[in-house]
Amino acid sequence: MKGIWVLGDQLSAAQAALAAAEPASPRVLLLESTSSARARRCHRQKLVLVWSAMRHFAAELAVAGWTVDHRQVENFRAGLAAWIAEHGITELHLMEPAERPFRASIVAAVEAMGAGAPRLVWHASNAFLWSRNDFAAWAHPYKQLRMELFYREGRRRFGVLMDGEGQPLGGQWNFDQANRKAPPRGLKGPEPLWFEPDAITADVIAKVERLADDLEAGGGPRLPGDARSFRWAVTREQALAVLKHFIATRLDGFGPYQDAMVSGEPTLWHALLSPYLNLGLLQPLEVIRRLEQAGRERRSPLAGLEGVIRQILGWREYTHGLYWWFGADYTASNHFGANGPLPDWLERLGGSGMACMDTVLGELESSGYAHHIQRLMVLANYGLIAGLDPQSFTAWFQRMFIDGYDWVMQTNVLGMGLFADGGRLASKPYAASGSYINRMSTYCKGCRYDVKQRSGPDACPFNALYWDFLARHQESLRRNPRMALVMKQLEKLPDEELAAIRTTAAGLRKL
């Protein structure tokens, strides 16, 4: 008997293992396993999203004629073994998982079944535009990989935003410079599209709350996040509505304030599409095509249209391709030898005393989401300059974010955010002092720290930690030509001032 196991982030009728079969023949399995949720302590909304989307998808497959077994189990190994024995499954089909560790767990679980183990049949993943082999073929000749070259190749290869004569639409590949405006006073983004939980989602929310209560009753730590404020889409139909809403209300304004951060405006013009793309509810190429078509029809500003397409066709595909290209060792990268423990306020999602940090953590608590610049220039920047242990910080990101998965976290957190890979992904560390946050956000006005001060009890922690970071790693940073300017500024700091900064930073790093 043939069976297909659909993993929790493969919720598409077009996914490779389903696409290779007919509804009438194999049984389809979806496993909702509690033990990993318990062990990992993920954000409650992430659990609600994945479990509710799985239940909805199982119901949709059944309507389409598939024989579906949706099982709630304690751990996936026992659940899988029981299903295989119950239905005499001799051939188990799966689409390749996006995450390396999970593939290894599946192989181990099947091997452990001994004589009753089914034959494993893997189907190459079609969840990304670039297959792992195609990415490797592209990457192979380069000594130093750069996103911009990859993105241009993607534009040509998939014929996106091209003028018909092999040239980029508008005569330019990249409009980034137009997309970095600081927020003017009173900047307000359009309302996002949220959904009231239906009966299935309400049931999952209750389950997650029970799980959280049990954990706490057993003396365990709090499960982060607030499940009751869950408003994410959980079906393909809803995810398509979010895409449509983005096109109608946000696409034209996407460009200019991409890097802005505003108190009380957690989403601005961002697309809010990553949870759905990462679960398989939306396919990257369909999103890109719809954006391009709508943008051309509506004559959307090219800078914004190109900007959002670059995120999906460029960054998303690039980070996934690199995850597989760099190999399993990448996980252990620690270029700066950072080993600082994570401050308690990260786990509590609040209470740092820094207005920027507490705003972002508060938004994360209530939705599991923060936008790119909040992730990069507040959270990851702090981790970089404070010298937090990169592996613990990456694991924290993966647990806390609604769209967090191993494949996207490794490159974004270790590579882009923490420069732990020594520059295999980014050409320089994204380290910044409080002045960047002050320029690009509204946070500093309400902060108890003074963004102009570099040392002392009232100094903005980002300032002290930034200069201390440059001083601690000056030897390696001096070798990077893109750091030349700031290293010159460091040299100009009077010794006394630098000493005061470093004392302040040392105090902060102990917190």
Ligand X SMILES: Cc1cc2nc3c(=O)[nH]c(=O)nc-3n(C[C@H](O)[C@H](O)[C@H](O)COP(=O)(O)OP(=O)(O)OC[C@H]3O[C@@H](n4cnc5c(N)ncnc54)[C@H](O)[C@@H]3O)c2cc1C
d(CA 228, CA 205): 7
Nearer to ligand SF4, 80 or 261 (CB): 261
Please select the residue that binds ligand X; options are 38, 46, 236, 316, rule is CB under 6 A. Answer: 316
d(CA 159, CA 213): 51
Mask: binding to ligand SF4, 315-354, rule CB under 6 A, as x and -? ---------------------------------------x
**Nearest-approach distance from CB 345 to ligand SF4, in angstroms:** 12
What count of other Cβ atoms lies within 10 Å of the Cβ of residue 343?
19
- Asked if 346 is part of the footprint of ligand X (rule: CB under 6 A), the reply reads no
| Per-residue H/E/C for 328-365 | HHHHHCCCCCCCECCCHHHHHCCCCCCHHHHHHHHHHH
d(CA 9, CA 127): 9
- Asked if 387 is part of the footprint of ligand X (rule: CB under 6 A), the reply reads no
- Asked if 417 is part of the footprint of ligand X (rule: CB under 6 A), the reply reads yes
Nearer to ligand SF4, 331 or 438 (CB): 438
User: The sheet that has 2-5: what strands, in order across it?
Assistant: 67-73, 27-33, 2-5, 91-95, 119-123
Mask: binding to ligand SF4, 352-391, rule CB under 6 A, as x and -? --xxx-----------------------------------
Mask: binding to ligand SF4, 296-315, rule CB under 6 A, as x and -? --------------------
Binding segment for ligand SF4 (CB under 6 A), chosen from 108-116, 272-280, 369-377, 441-449, is 441-449
Nearer to ligand SF4, 174 or 453 (CB): 453
Count of CA atoms in the C-beta half-sphere (13 A) of 332: 3
The footprint of ligand X on residues 394-413 (CB under 6 A) is 397, 401, 403-404, 408-409, 412-413
d(CA 352, CA 355): 8
**Nearest-approach distance from CB 453 to ligand SF4, in angstroms:** 9
- Asked if 271 is part of the footprint of ligand X (rule: CB under 6 A), the reply reads yes
Please say whether the beta carbons of 110 and 3 come within 8 A.
no
d(CA 85, CA 220): 34
Q: Which of 266, 473, 255, 287 is nearest to 360 (CA)?
A: 266
**Residue 447's binding partner out of ligand SF4, ligand X, none, with CB under 5 to 8 Å set by partner kind:** ligand SF4
3-state SS assignment for residue 12: coil
Burial of 171: CB neighbours in 10 Å, binned 0-12, 13-18, 19+: exposed
Residues that bind ligand X (CB under 6 A): 270-274, 277-278, 308, 311-312, 315-316, 319, 371-372, 375-376, 380, 397, 401, 403-404, 408-409, 412-413, 416-417
Residues that bind ligand SF4 (CB under 6 A): 354-356, 434, 437-438, 443-444, 447, 449, 451, 460-462
